[in-house]
Amino acid sequence: MDLTALRYFVTTAEYGSITKAAAHLYVAQPAVSRQIRKLEEDLGVRLLTRTAQGVTLTGQGEHLYRRATGLLQGLSQTRTEVQNWGAEPSGPVSVALMPAVGSLVAPPLVARLRGTYPKIQLRLAEGLSAFISDGVLDGRFDLGLFHADQETAALESTLLLDEPMFLIGPGAGAPPKRPSRRAPLKSGELPNYPLLLPGQPNPLRRAIDRLAAESGLKLDIRETVDSTSIIKRLVAAGLGYTVQCYSFVHEEVTRGDLSIRPLAVDGLSRNWTLASLAGRPPVSAVAAVAGLLRDIAAGLADTHRWGPPQG
C-alpha cells in the first residue's frame, strides 16, 4: 500500500469529504480521488461510499482507517525520533483517559509537559475503558489510562493505584455542611436501590455482575447507560443510583448535586491502569509522558483520600 494513498484516505475519512480533505492537504481534488481509487483497486475492496453530503466509510474502510491511523502516527513519531536522536523528547503523543480521571490528570499533565517537555505535541482523548483499550491496540493512542479488570497479552500494563467505590445518589441541592457519616452500605443492601449502570463489556459492570452472581443478589438495574455524564444527570434528577469512585463525582458532591455513601464490598474497586502496545520499540516522547502520568498518579495516591474531606 502506498503511504500517500493511505494518508489521503485517512484525511478524507476524518473530514468526511474529498473536497475538504483536498483543501486540508493543499492538493487538487482529483488527486485525492485518484489516490483513493488506486488504494481501492490495490486492495480489491470498496473503502468509501459517495453521497451528496460527502463520503462515509464501508466496513472495510472503517477497519483500514483504524489501522492506518495508528500506522501513520507511528511513522510520524519514528521520523521525529530519528531526526532528533539524542535531543530532548519531541513529537506527537496521543493519550486517552477515562472520563473521571481526565479532570484530575489532564491539567497537571499539560502543565508539566509545557514546562518540562515543550517539544512534545500532546493529543488527549476521553472514553470508556473498551474504547481506550481498543484504541491502544489499534495504534490510535500511544497510551491509555483506564480501568482494567483483565489482562490483555497485546498490552503492556502498569497498575498505578486503586480507588474504593461508593453508592452515588441524588444530593440535597446545596453543598453539605459536613461529610456524611452514614455507615458503609453492605452488598446485601444493594438490591434495595434502583441502579443506573454502564453495559457490558464495561469493567465496572462486569465486576458488579460478578459480585451479584457470587452473592446470589438480584440487583434492580433500571437502565443501561454508556455515558458518564448522562448517568450523573439521571442520578442528580432522582431517577436512580449508581456505583462509582469518588473522583467520578467529586465536583458534583462539592456542589451538593450528588451524595455518596461508602460501600463495604470486598473486591469492588477501580484501578488506574496505564497501558501501551506490547512489543513496541521505545519512543522517548511516549516514555516521557508515561513517566509524568505515573508521577501524577503517585502524587494523588499519597495526598488524595478518595473520598470527601473529613472535618
pLDDT score of 77: 67
Its domain, for residue 58, covers: 3-66
- Mapping DSSP onto H, E and C, the string for 150-188 reads CCCCCEEEEEEEEEEEEEEEECCCCCCCCCCCCCCEEHH
- Tell me if 113 is assigned to some domain: no
- Tell me if 122 is assigned to some domain: no
Task: Look at residues 66, 89, 107 and tell me which one is the last residue of a structural domain.
Answer: 66
Above 80 in pLDDT, residue 177?
Answer: no
pLDDT score of 86: 62
- Tell me if 265 is assigned to some domain: yes
Q: Domain count of the chain?
A: 2
Give me the mean pLDDT over the 156-179 stretch. Answer: 80
Above 50 in pLDDT, residue 311?
Answer: no
pLDDT score of 163: 85
Per DSSP, the three-state class of 141 is: coil
User: pLDDT tens for residues 79-91?
Assistant: 766 766 666 888 8
Of 51-60, 114-123, 130-139, 278-287, the range with the lowest mean pLDDT is 278-287
pLDDT score of 82: 74
pLDDT score of 306: 64
Task: Look at residues 12, 35, 66 and tell me which one is the last residue of a structural domain.
Answer: 66
In sign, the C-alpha dihedral spanning 202, 208, 213, 218 is: negative
- Tell me if 98 is assigned to some domain: no
- Tell me if 303 is assigned to some domain: no
- Tell me if 310 is assigned to some domain: no
CATH of the domain at 38: 1.10.10.10
The answer to whether 42 touches 34, Cβ cutoff 8 Å, is: no
- Tell me if 13 is assigned to some domain: yes
69 alpha-carbon distance from chain centroid: 17
Split at pLDDT 50, 70, 90, the class of 300 is: confident
pLDDT score of 100: 74
CATH of the domain at 223: 3.40.190.10
Q: Cα–Cα distance between 82 and 265 in angstroms, integer?
A: 51
- Tell me if 88 is assigned to some domain: no
